[in-house]
Amino acid sequence: MEPPVRRRLLVGLVVLVAGGTMSLPGTAYAATASQEVQYRKITFPVAGATSYGNTWGASRDGGARQHQGTDVMGHKMQVLVAAHDGTIGWTRTDGNNMLTIRDDDGWEYWYIHINNDTPGTDDGANRPEHMFFPGIESGVRVTAGQPVAYLGDSGNAEGTSPHLHFELHPPGGVVVNSYWSLMLAQGRRVNDRCGFDENPVLRASSVKTTGSYLTLTSDGGVYGYGGAPFFGAMSGKRLNAPAISLVPTPTGNGYWQLAADGGIFSFGGARFFGSTGAKRLNQPVVGMAATPSGNGYWLVARDGGIFSFGDARFAGSTGGMRLNQPIVGMAATPSGNGYWLVAQDGGIFSFGDATFLGSTGGRSPSPVVDLTASPSGKGYWMLTRGGTVLPFGDAAFAGGTDRLGFCAVPEAVKLAPTSTGKGYWIQAADGNTFAFGDAPDQGSIKRQGLATRPIADLAAF
């Protein structure tokens, strides 16, 4: 049920396939091929047991209007709580009792059919103490979860089962379906989500609007987004081992492709300085880093053995050490005089002028798959297979795919930072690329339906 005057049904929601960068904190869009939904991060507005369904757009008054909220069925005097931090907007106490809460981003939450009866009756006495909690009036500040009113059957809900008619109004927009937000507030599945995005969000004024990246597949395919330059690929050619890494030159005028046997393939302005492709290795190669000049590079093997080419200086390795877990990646310092190696358990090994800034000490929430240095070289990020981002030093935390609310988090492959260090992209094995902080969402293989081979790497430009 709802009051007689309503805005018209919103048609054709604008959809942004989920990523970390969003225009409003706690606001997102999720999509599948068959259903598009909009949701807002809220606290469920009714305390205690309830039931509800998706009746958005249902006919009311013999087809004269459409239902534009969610009826949350409960019992009289059940406590209603603030769905979000905000300020009480308008209230109505004439027996058709209502209130609204407006949050700091301009979203409004409408509570309709607030109680108007003496407890245990249907007398319509409309006593103030049975409508709102003490102190609840227009202009009062409330916090999410704070009791604000009591559920009832006032207004045009008289003669029906008690319920809260709950509406969700975006700033300056038309009312949208609140059902999806209510579902996620209770951890119930909506498409591929079972919870809200819990990642930090930058304000629009500080969001970077440029940035591009390339995604590498294991067959050597290269896919560009946001205007990233394409210099060539190994797809369609015979590889002795799968492609595992794509490393841009420092000037961005080319890149190297690395295969698991240490084979190097140079494109654009990237020069070939040697490889291990023809050598017999104790362990497969797992990572690569370029020198600041672009005139050399290092390769690292699973046992931590280092292979230096061009002007890359050997600063040490774990090749002769007994490791608890294998090495999975490396990152070079800005000077080119050192590098870090990371093991699958999050152990960090520092060589040359690379400063040890911390590790997980074997307590990583899931296996570590990548290590990336911050632009200053005074920090680094670890990325786990489960999508958790672990920052150290001056590496800024901007979120992770483990906090996007997915029912099943896609396996993470690679983290690539923006030039500012205030954001990054995370590449998932399913072909999705997720943007966080000031990293713009430029698209992904998954959304284009192009992923035909396993995803190997992501490189930022």
Percent of all residues in the chain with a pLDDT value above 90, rounded to a whole number = 80
Does the pLDDT at position 326 exceed 90? yes
pLDDT at residue number 88: 98
pLDDT class for 12, splitting at 50, 70, 90?
very low
pLDDT at residue number 29: 43
One-letter amino acid at 31 equals: A
pLDDT class for 315, splitting at 50, 70, 90?
very high
Q: Half-sphere exposure of residue 263, counting CA atoms within 13 Å on the CB side?
A: 15
pLDDT class for 320, splitting at 50, 70, 90?
confident
pLDDT at residue number 350: 98
pLDDT tens profile 26-68: 444 443 333 467 899 999 999 999 999 999 888 776 767 788 9
CA 64 and chain centroid, separation = 41
Average pLDDT in the chain: 90
pLDDT class for 285, splitting at 50, 70, 90?
very high
pLDDT at residue number 36: 62
CA 238 and chain centroid, separation = 36
Instruction: List the single range of 83-97, 199-213, 304-318 with lowest mean pLDDT.
Output: 199-213
pLDDT class for 393, splitting at 50, 70, 90?
very high
Strand partners, 338: 352
pLDDT tens profile 104-152: 999 999 999 999 999 999 999 999 999 999 999 999 999 999 999 999 9
| Mean pLDDT within 254-270 | 97
- Which one, of 450, 417, 438, 393, lies nearest residue 248 by Cα? 417
Does the pLDDT at position 13 exceed 60? no
pLDDT class for 450, splitting at 50, 70, 90?
confident
| Mean pLDDT within 64-79 | 92
Q: Which residue's entry shows tokens 């709580």?
A: 81
Q: Which residue's entry shows tokens 């109680």?
A: 115
pLDDT at residue number 66: 81
| Mean pLDDT within 75-87 | 98
pLDDT at residue number 23: 29
| Mean pLDDT within 269-283 | 92
Cβ neighbours around 132 below 10 Å, total: 23
More confident residue, 33 or 450: 450
pLDDT at residue number 16: 28
The structural domains of the chain, ordered by start, are: 27-185 (2.70.70.10), 204-460 (2.130.10.10)
pLDDT class for 206, splitting at 50, 70, 90?
low
| Mean pLDDT within 81-96 | 97
